[in-house]
Amino acid sequence: MDGRVDLHIHSSNSSDGDFPPSELLRMAKQKGLRAISISDHDTVGAYPEALEWSHRLGVELIPSVELTTLFEGREFHLLMPFVNWESRALRRILTTVTEARMEEAKERVAKLQGLGFDISWDEVILQTRGGPPLGVSIAQILIAKGRKKKTPALQKYHEGANLLFAPYIFYKDYFLEEGPAFVPKRTVSLIEVLEVVSGDGAVPVLAHPGAYFERATREDLVVLEARGLAGLEVYSSYHKPDQVQSYRALAEELDLVATAGSDFHGRIKPQVVFGQLKEGTYDMVEALKKRRRR
C-alpha cells in the first residue's frame, strides 16, 4: 500500500530524546509520512498526548514502546507496535525495567565519580527529566560538561570525527563489559516478555538486530521466533548495507515481518534526520496487523 512509515521514533519521554510527541506528529505531517510509531525507551509516557495529535493532524500513530531486555547475556531491545499501552501487564513490566535501569544508572554515575569525573546523580536525573538515564544520556551530559571545563580525559570526544558520535564512543569505552564503568544488566528476560506482550495486542519486533550491543545471530532469531517474535527491524540507522541484506534474508527465511525504523532521537543522533528513511512503506503496517489477528 502507498505511504511511507517510520516504526521507531523517540520523543522527549525517552531520556535521550528531544522532541515532544506533538512536534513529532507535526514533523511527520510535514514530511508526508502516512504513519509513525513513537517507541520510547521503557515508557509509554507519550500516550495519550501523541494519539490526540495523531487525530488532529491526520497521521496514523501506532502505539509502541522500546523495551530493554536480556537474552543470552546481551541487551536486546524489543519494539511492541500495537501494544495496549494502558494494560496492567505492560505496566508491571515497565515498573520492573525502570527500577532496574535506575539502579544501573546510579551505579554507572558512582563508578564515573570513582574514576575522577565531575558528575553527580542529581544533575543527571535533572537533565534526563526524572526518567531512568541511558548510558549514552549520562555520557552526553558528562561530555558537554567536560567541553566547558576542558577536562583532559574527555578531550578525544571533542575532536574530529569523534564529535558526531561522542556519546556512543564513550559508551563503548566505559560502559561495555570490558570498560572501567561497566555495570551488569539486571533488566527483564526477553523470553519472559515475549510470553506476555502478545496478549496485550503487541506484535513483538526485534529492534536494530545488528547493533553493536545486540549482534543477533540466526540461531538467536530461530529461538526467539519460536517463542513469539513476529518481526525484525531490517532497515535501521544502525545497519550497514550488508547487514540489511543479511537480516532481510533471515526475515524471509524465518517468516518475520521486515520493518523499518530510523531510531530518530534528535541531537544525540545528529546523523539520523527525521523522515530520511525511504524503505519504510505502509505494507509493513498491514503485515504487522495481520500478525496481530493470528
For 7-65, what is each residue's pLDDT tens digit? 999 999 999 999 999 999 999 999 999 999 999 999 999 999 999 999 999 999 999 99
CB 110 within 8 A of CB 133: no
In a domain, 113, yes or no: no
What integer pLDDT is reported at residue 129 of this predicted model? 82
The range of the structural domain enclosing residue 88 comes to 4-95+186-293
Mean pLDDT across the stretch 170-197? 94
Q: How confident is the model at residue 293 (pLDDT cuts 50, 70, 90)?
A: low
- Please say if the pLDDT value at position 1 is more than 60: no
- Whether 198 is in a domain gets the answer yes
Query: Could you tell me if residue 262 is inside a domain?
Result: yes
Q: Give the pLDDT band (50/70/90) at residue 286.
A: very high
Q: Tally Cβ neighbours within 10 Å of residue 61.
A: 22
Tell me the C-alpha distance between 70 and 28, whole Å: 32
Percent of residues, the chain, with pLDDT higher than 90: 85
The answer to whether position 13 is within a domain reads: yes
Per the structure, the count of domains in the chain is 1
Residues 186, 175: Cα–Cα separation, whole Å: 14
Decide: helix, strand or coil at residue 67: strand
Is 132 inside a domain boundary?
A: no
Indicate whether 150 belongs to any domain: no
Instruction: State the cell numbers at 128.
Output: 534526563
99 phi/psi in degrees, rounded to 5: -65, -40
User: Considering the domain boundaries, does residue 170 fall inside one?
Assistant: no
Instruction: Identify the residue whose cell numbers are 558526531.
Output: 164
Q: Is residue 148 part of a domain?
A: no
- What is the DSSP code string of 270-284? TTS-TT---S-BHHH
Evaluate the CA torsion angle 262, 166, 30, 83 in order and state its sign: positive
Say whether pLDDT at 160 is over 90. no
Please state the separation of Cα 240 from the chain's center in Å: 18
Q: What is the CATH number of the domain that holds 270?
A: 3.20.20.140
